[in-house]
Chains A and B, each alone.
Chain A
């Protein structure tokens, strides 16, 4: 059974710092990995999607990497801003009859001005 773990559960850093969020998964048979952002009480906003054949994806100040063989992904946020404060969720997609996302518990990020 696929399990996804995110470490740390919460992170608080001062504005301007570069930071890394970690995600690990137990089964390397994935089709893609998505990083989402969730603001309090809101839905999920997709940040980056890395297909299983890819190693990384970049969007603005965000860079996500994928090492399928070791079951790990990282989300790197450069020059953090208070507006980056949110919960970040990692999810892997498996196909068992249908396309299913398996989520981690998330990392709650606070950027202090």
Chain B
């Protein structure tokens, strides 16, 4: 069966520090991968998606970047964190380019920028 992991589970970082969040998927090949953010008082927002190694698309301009160095690994990064980067970051995956296009979510990383 498929499993998705995210780490760390929680993170407290000062403004201006770098960030690296990792997501890995087990039990499937060539998944589509997604990073979403859930900020306080706002809904879940898609940040990045990837359909293959090295293929990253950004949904919104921001202080963050994403990379996919391996088929089942997706990394969210920042060189210098802002207070507005605080939130709950969720990684998700889906398989293939055919219906039903269901997405499965990881346990999330709670990021607090101080």
Contact = CB atoms under 8 A, between A and B. Distances in A.
B13 to A, nearest CB: 18
22 contacts: A31-B101, A32-B100, A34-B103, A41-B108, A42-B108, A43-B90, A43-B105, A44-B92, A46-B102, A49-B102, A89-B44, A93-B101, A98-B32, A98-B49, A98-B51, A99-B101, A99-B103, A100-B49, A100-B59, A101-B46, A104-B43, A106-B43
Q: Chain A CB within 10 Å — which of B49, B59, B99 has the most?
A: B99
Contacts of B42: 105
Contacts, number: 64
A51 B99 contact: yes
A43 to B, nearest CB: 4
Interface of B: 6, 32, 34, 36, 42-46, 49, 51, 57, 59, 88, 90, 92, 94, 99-108, 110
Interface string A33-71: 010100001111110010100000000000000000000
Nearest to A49: B102
A97 interface: yes
